[in-house]
Amino acid sequence: MKKYLVFLLLFSGFAKATMTPVSYQVGDQTIVAPAVRYEYGYAYNIEAKKLLKLVTLNWPPYIDESLCNNGWLFQLTVKLLLQKGYGVHIEFLPWARALRAAELGHADILFPEYFIDNNVMSENKPNKTRNDLMALSSAIPGGNLSLVALNGSHSNYDGSVESIKDQIIGVVRAYKNTPELDKLIDSKQINTIVANNEFQQIHLLMSLRVDLIVADFDVLIASIEKSAASEKEKQQMKTALMVLSPPLGYKPLYYTVSKANPYWQEILADLNNEIKKMKEQGALSSYIEEKKQCSS
């Protein structure tokens, strides 16, 4: 029978917290680690020899402080690192700030990230690519990236991004989309209006400031549900959105490890090994589905 242990993590100046516990495995033991408030985020196993700082964003339904236990991606991330003996400190930031922190070496891991081509330049360090500064992990499950229009509107979209060059597109600041679309955006062949998040994208679309928005539709719906809008307004927004087919592509998620950390290769290998182990055991998908069912 498995032994169940509870780690009580204490940190001077911070009260013990019971929010957002994470379960992980060490041999045949299941350990339940509670979080403590630490600086501007959450921390686990804070007395570990290697305490990693992670930066992320509120991005429901994957990860968000309003979700049960902060969402399945939060739970998975902490689990992967605790199993390798790391201490974990996670801070939620707007995406552009999180990206900047990781690229400048102020954070050890940025997540979740889409695949980054080698030619994508850093917005924070001159003459450096994103991959010069950070290393991508193995992939974990993600979702479809799609073009979304107002229900009943007309679009020339035929599955190629070339077909929408005459339309104004709403994108989120500092997000990478697909290489084909980003190339047209960067070369000014597609006009864009930049939003700070998906909920702002919806308002751009409904106010007719853009013709289309680029988003994971599940994130749009979760952002509406999270908002302070009335139930009537939420339903109106959801009804107004129409996903264009086919999607721009399926987008797995990744962790990016900052190469400013002198142990970045070890951290990356540890993450990849844990992801590989869960995949080989058939446990990754089942773990995600289990955490999605969280109701408390």
**Residue 294 confidence (pLDDT):** 85
Range with the poorest average pLDDT among 4-18, 162-176, 180-194, 225-239:
4-18
Does 48 score more than 90 pLDDT?
yes
**Residue 20 confidence (pLDDT):** 85
**Residue 2 confidence (pLDDT):** 38
Give per-residue pLDDT as tens, 6-15: 333 333 333 3
Q: Model-level pTM?
A: 0.91
**Residue 14 confidence (pLDDT):** 35
The residue with tokens 């990693």 is 52
C-beta separation of 3 from 29 below 8 A? yes
Domain covering 4-141+252-292, topology: D-Maltodextrin-Binding Protein; domain 2 (3.40.190)
Domain covering 143-250, topology: D-Maltodextrin-Binding Protein; domain 2 (3.40.190)
